[in-house]
A and B are shown apart, each in its own frame.
Chain A
Amino acid sequence: MKILNIFVVLFLFIGFSHLKSDEKNDELKSKTLKNIRCLICQGQSVYDSESDFASSIKLIVDKKINEGLKEDQIYEFLREKYGDWIIYDPQLNKNTYILWLLPLLLFLAGGAIIRKKIHKKNEK
């Protein structure tokens, strides 16, 4: 009887841990798909699109997750095939320096202008 109880507990544990890993994979899948641009759609992510291209990418992402690839590795795979454009969140590289640094520079320039104006006002 004791052995049977142990088996039942083990069975339930294995069953639930499997469910949990499925849930984790689903979460990873939807997070990844939301960050992939559907290249043939107008402003839609692969997650939102029902196009042939999007459904093929969904299958590929599913396959890669099951093969054990991490989110970044999947992005890298797709980037290699389609370029940086396919990912919504672009990486910092020589092509995207301006994209990342321009807002910061504008913010600093704006801050400097405001500071100068306040300084001038105080002088008056």
Chain B
Amino acid sequence: MKNKFSLFFVIIFLSFCFVVFYKGLNNSNTYAPTIKGKKKIPIFEAKDFNSSVYLNSKKIFEEDNFYILNIWASWCVPCRTEHPLLMRLSKNQSVKLIGLNYRDNLNNAKKFINELGNPYSQIIIDDNGTLSVEFGAYGVPETFIIDKNKIIIRKFIGPINNEIVEEIKLIIK
């Protein structure tokens, strides 16, 4: 009786482990934490992409508008795929797009923008990645939705797609 009970317990335990690991195999291995609580945008100074003049965050996000901060780089292939969607979003009057050029060569970045178009109302440079860390970013591409109170309300890790664009449109409505 005791042996039967032990065997039953072992089988149940192994089945449980199998289910947990099997489910884990299907999960994405990218870590995307949910942002707890509302976070204001960090206070920073960054170099302007076109003029190389230093601008502070208050000046960059000065309008009473929704903002989309998109982290991109010319060497980033997924940035190329999401670029037409950003161009589409830039036509929307109720939102302003800010580009954060991440660890890039300025000439290559300018070529990228000339070739694919400029969806951003302002581009700032993050040549060592520290500004992205202030935003809590992992790499490129990454997109943050900032509301009128300058609070980050949504974060998308990886390239945006049509579904995300629709979600953004709903948020900024």
C-alpha gap A53/B138 in the complex (Å): 6
B117 CB–A CB distance under 8 Å: no
Asked whether, in the complex, the Cβ of A60 is within 8 Å of the Cβ of B138, the reply is: no
A40 CB–B CB distance under 8 Å: yes
Asked whether, in the complex, the Cβ of B133 is within 8 Å of the Cβ of A60, the reply is: yes
- Given A39-B138, A81-B136, A82-B136, CB of A56 within 8 Å of CB of B130: yes
B139 CB–A CB distance under 8 Å: yes
Nearest Cβ distance between residue B166 and chain A, in whole angstroms? 27
Asked whether, in the complex, the Cβ of A52 is within 8 Å of the Cβ of B33, the reply is: no
Interface size class of B (residues with CB under 8 A): 10 to 19
Interface string of B120-138 (1 = CB under 8 A from A): 0000000011101111101
Asked whether, in the complex, the Cβ of B130 is within 8 Å of the Cβ of A82, the reply is: no
Majority DSSP secondary structure for residues of A touching B: helix
- Of A53, A63, A83, which one neighbours B129 at CB under 8 angstroms? A53
- Given A40-B139, A52-B103, A52-B139, CB of A57 within 8 Å of CB of B133: yes
C-alpha gap A53/B134 in the complex (Å): 12
Task: Output the nearest chain A residue to B42 by Cβ-Cβ distance.
Answer: A81
B31 CB–A CB distance under 8 Å: yes
C-alpha gap A71/B46 in the complex (Å): 26
Task: Output the nearest chain A residue to B128 by Cβ-Cβ distance.
Answer: A59
A85 CB–B CB distance under 8 Å: yes
- Of A39, A40, A56, which one neighbours B132 at CB under 8 angstroms? A56
Residues in B with CB closer than 8 Å to A40 are 138-139
Given contacts A56-B129, A81-B134, 4 further A-B contacts (CB under 8 A): A39-B31, A52-B103, A56-B130, A81-B136
- Of B33, B130, B135, which one neighbours A59 at CB under 8 angstroms? B130
- Given A39-B138, A53-B139, CB of A82 within 8 Å of CB of B33: yes
